[in-house]
Every structure is written in structure tokens, then in C-alpha cells.
């Protein structure tokens, strides 16, 4: 079996993307997906994305974590599949696509993608952390110096601990730089390690910064290990709307993987 693939990255968050409009890819094969994402025995990626036909939008996005399991929304993956869909000629400047959390609108200019995320109306604000869902669940802790945090060890301990348990959560550690700039490091479930960037994570951080009264801005700059992203939003009666994740989505290479 030969699999045609493309590799994309968004601020270092990298993905194997496959055009599956003819439904040839065996998406129930967890071991195959895990192998394709393996950095030693496969192509290497934080996740795998299938582009499929949709009856209600330009295309459908199906996202799998590197462990091979289908997962919730991936923001950087969403930006990357938009760039891939444009490469395929599915749309020109703007598009809508369907993902596990609903329909997303996006625009692209050069390699810069602006992706609309879901509205957020429920945020848990505890003394030590905040929790919210931006298409994927995110635990957020503000720290003094994020570079001093052992993200893998501490993130893993929180990821399946109370109250998250088996469903788990992504874990973000955040350092404030100024009123609208934050440094973010993220431990991602499914990857089970720190990634260079997380799109739903920085989206959650931007909203959490507003809720925690650390920023009064509605356009937030986020610095990740893989590069810079920005998140804009409006707030109406406690609901965060018109939430956009903005940043580069870059083609890396394509090829054929033979099984």
C-alpha cells in the first residue's frame, strides 16, 4: 500500500495531511496512524489530518493524535489544512470547513491563516488555574518564569489527574510579558509530551488572560517555542465570540509512504 502525503507545520506544530476525498485511507487503523506520526520509523508529526468531502462546507477535517486515536479540534492543524486545501484548489481566499466541533471559517493570504474558533461561554476560574474548552480542553496556569517549568513532568501529572482523569486535558503554562503578550508552553495529550506550539492552547490562554484580568486587550500576542501567534476576540455578556487564531501555516514537504 502506498500513501501520498503532505507535511505541514504551524509554528512548529507539525502534521501529516492526506487527501482522503476518495476514502482510500484506513482511518480505523490506529497502529498505522501512530507509525506515520513516529519520528523514527515513520514520517514524523504531532498528528495526522485527513481532508475529506463535506456536504455542508468546502471540506471536512478529521484529526488524529500521534498515538493514532481520533481527537478533538486542533487549531494549528486547522490552519494547516486550510493551506493544504488552497494548494489543492478547493478554494481561493476564504473557506468554510467542518471539524469535530462544528463549522469553521478561515481566510488565507500568502501563508498567513486566520481561523475562526468556536465561541466560548464556560470558563472555570480557580485560585491556581483556569479551565476552558476551545475545541479541545485546556488547563492553564500562570507562572513567573515559564522557562523554568519542567513541562513534560508537571504537565503529565496534571493531564490525567483530578478532575480530568481518563479523558484528560492539555496543560498550558503561561508567563505574562506585558498587557497583551504572553509566553506559552503546552503539554499535549495524545502526543504525551510538550509540543512547540498548540493552537487551541494559545486560544485558551488569550481568553483566560482576559477572564483572570491579566489583560484588557482583545488582540493578544502569544509567544510559543515554535514562533508567534495572535488571537483576537469580542466579548458579549460573558461570551467570547468571533475568536480568531492567526499565524503562519507552512508546507514542508510531500512524498509517498510505502507500507
Catalytic residues: 74, 198
Contact 12, 227 (CB under 8 A): yes
Distances (CA, A) of 16 to 20, 79, 96, 116: 12, 13, 21, 22
Phi and psi at 100, nearest 5°, equal -65, -25
Angle at CA 190, nearest 5°, toward 74 and 36?
A: 85
Half-sphere exposure of 221 (CA within 13 A, CB side): 9
- How do strand 181-188 and strand 219-224 relate by DSSP bridges? parallel
Contact 206, 212 (CB under 8 A): no
Q: Would you tell me the crossing angle of helices 75-87 and 199-211 to the nearest 10 degrees?
A: 130
Cα distance from N-terminal residue to C-terminal residue, the chain: 5
Contact 53, 85 (CB under 8 A): no
| One-character DSSP codes across 220-246 | EEEEETTEEEEEEEEEETTEEEEEEEE
Distances (CA, A) of 57 to 52, 63, 135: 11, 17, 18
Amino acid at each position: 500500500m502506498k500513501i501520498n502525503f503532505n507535511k505541514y507545520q504551524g509554528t512548529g506544530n507539525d502534521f501529516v495531511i492526506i487527501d482522503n476525498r476518495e476514502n482510500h485511507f484506513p482511518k480505523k487503523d490506529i497502529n498505522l496512524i501512530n507509525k506515520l506520526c513516529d519520528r523514527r520509523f515513520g514520517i514524523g508529526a504531532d498528528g495526522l489530518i485527513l481532508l475529506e468531502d463535506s456536504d455542508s462546507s468546502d471540506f471536512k477535517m478529521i484529526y488524529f493524535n500521534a498515538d493514532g486515536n481520533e481527537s478533538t479540534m486542533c487549531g494549528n492543524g486547522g490552519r494547516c489544512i486550510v493551506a493544504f486545501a488552497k494548494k489543492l484548489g478547493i478554494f481561493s481566499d476564504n473557506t468554510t470547513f467542518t471539524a469535530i466541533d462544528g463549522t469553521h471559517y478561515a481566510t488565507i493570504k500568502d501563508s498567513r491563516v486566520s481561523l475562526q474558533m468556536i465561541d466560548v461561554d464556560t470558563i472555570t476560574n480557580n485560585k491556581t488555574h483556569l479551565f476552558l474548552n476551545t475545541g479541545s480542553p485546556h488547563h492553564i496556569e500562570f507562572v513567573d518564569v515559564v522557562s523554568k517549568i519542567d513541562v513534560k513532568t508537571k504537565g503529565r501529572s496534571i493531564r490525567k489527574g483530578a478532575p480530568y482523569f481518563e479523558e484528560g486535558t492539555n496543560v498550558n503554562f503561561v508567563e505574562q510579558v506585558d498587557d497583551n503578550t504572553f509566553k506559552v508552553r503546552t503539554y499535549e495529550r495524545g502526543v504525551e509530551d510538550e509540543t512547540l506550539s498548540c493552537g487551541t492552547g494559545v486560544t485558551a490562554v488569550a481568553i483566560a488572560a482576559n477572564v483572570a484580568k491579566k489583560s484588557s486587550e482583545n488582540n493578544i500576542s502569544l509567544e510559543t517555542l515554535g514562533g508567534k501567534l495572535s488571537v483576537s476576540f469580542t466579548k458579549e455578556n460573558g461570551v467570547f465570540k468571533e475568536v480568531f487564531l492567526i499565524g503562519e501555516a507552512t508546507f514542508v514537504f510531500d512524498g509517498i509512504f510505502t507500507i
